[in-house]
Amino acid sequence: MNDVAAGALSATAAFQLGTVGAITTDRYTRAIAPLKPKQAGILLVLSLFEGMSQQDLARKMGVAPSLLVGLLDELQDMGAVRRERDEHDRRRQIVVLTEAGRELYGTCAAAAKAMDEELLKDVADPEAFRAGLRQIAAGMGLPV
């Protein structure tokens, strides 16, 4: 490790974002267990747009609707989420955050926030880094 000049690939932001992102997700996954990252994502989206159909949720998250079924089943078993049949269109399940779900989301957010300190401890200008990350995320159409 630590050969500055030799590794042109390892010097790119693309490569570093990928690897750092993967490691961060690993740690984050452990921090929020037994919740899965995608489930935290569901809670996040629902906290922003209370009451979405599974289709809309899938679109917003960029995953196949079929993937949500199992994830929501588990969230429902945890009592974090409720599925309510839409009265105006009885094909749709409206997914709603429960009070417990809101708390669970708060726990995830707290865990992530706690990770930030450790994550940024080596960064000379954390605010500039945060800003850059936020701008990239915004450019990708993520909720910022």
Which of 23, 69 has the CB closer to DNA?
A: 69
Binding flag, residue 82, DNA (CB under 7 A) = no
User: Angle at the Cα of 117 (from 102 to 22), degrees rounded to 5?
Assistant: 75
**∠ CA 141-57-103 to the nearest 5 degrees?**
95
Task: Tell me which residues touch a second copy (CB under 8 A).
Answer: 1-4, 6-25, 27-28, 37, 40, 43-44, 47-48, 60, 105-106, 108-109, 112-113, 115-116, 119-126, 128-144
Stretch that binds DNA, among 54-62, 101-109, 111-119, 121-129 (CB under 7 A): 54-62
Contact indicator for 36, 63 with CB cutoff of 8 Å: no
> How far from the centroid of its chain's Cα atoms is residue 32's Cα?
11
Q: Is 33 in the site for DNA (CB under 7 A)?
A: no
**Cα(53)–Cα(57) distance, rounded to whole angstroms?**
6
Q: Which stretch binds DNA (CB under 7 A): 9-17, 61-69, 104-112, 114-122?
A: 61-69
Out of a second copy, DNA, none, what residue 69 binds, judged by CB under 5 to 8 A for its kind, is: DNA
Residue 64 within binding range of DNA, rule CB under 7 A: yes
Q: Looking at 28-98, which runs of residues are DSSP E strands?
A: 52-53, 81-85, 93-97
Residue 120 CB, nearest approach to DNA (Å): 25
DSSP element (H, E) containing 74? helix 65-77
